[in-house]
Amino acid sequence: MSKSVLVTGAATGLGRGVAWTLAERGHKVIAGCQIWPQVWELRNAAMAAGVQMQVIKLDVLNEIDRKHALAIEIDVLFNNAGIMESGPVVEIPMSVFRSVFNPGAYRTGFNDTGMQTMDQWWSLGDRIVAHWPLRELDRQHDPAEMINAIAAVIEEDKPAYRTVRPASAEAMVKKEQSDVWSRRV
């Protein structure tokens, strides 16, 4: 059965991958992008690939954008938009800290550029913690596994309560959670 799915944070990363995958599978996708250049780029990419999706401007911190999105009838909301900020919490400037914990706020780039975010503000004042050495992010998982898992959960009528990917992490998570449930005081 085809579903109507609103994907926030659809301009890049997992949001884009999930929106694209669901649209290719015949679902009605409303892909929300934070800024107009992202809307334009995704619309053009979808049109060039022959993928049908409705691409809208949706900055969830913008009241006008939220009202527009709330008027659209959907079956599923994949609330993917978010901000990634790196650095020790004690060192993050308050203005940046607030944006990270503002539900649904956007910033794109995920792991690679997300790890560089503190370089924007690190030199602005005295620090308690030493800046950690930069390293290549060369041990990341293939996002296709996560994108397909998210799409499968959205498509199922009665999906599992919890889905962990990559699959190699599932046993580790189950063990950690089991340890907590069986711990004695």
Interacting residues of 66 by C-beta distance below 8 A, sequence separation 6+? 58, 60
Question: pLDDT for 64-94, tens place per residue?
Answer: 999 999 999 999 999 988 766 667 777 777 7
Q: What is the dihedral of CA 29, 34, 36, 37, to 10 degrees?
A: -100
Q: State the residue for tokens 């938009």.
A: 81
Collapse the DSSP code of 26 into the 3-class scheme (helix H, G, I; strand E, B; otherwise coil) and give the result.
Answer: coil
Collapse the DSSP code of 4 into the 3-class scheme (helix H, G, I; strand E, B; otherwise coil) and give the result.
Answer: strand
Identify the H or E element spanning 14.
helix 13-24
Under 8 Å between Cβ of 88 and 95:
no
More confident residue, 101 or 182: 182
At residue 137, the pLDDT reads: 64
Backbone angles phi, psi at 144, to 5 degrees: -60, -40
Selection from 11-20, 104-113, 115-124, 165-174 with the highest mean pLDDT: 11-20
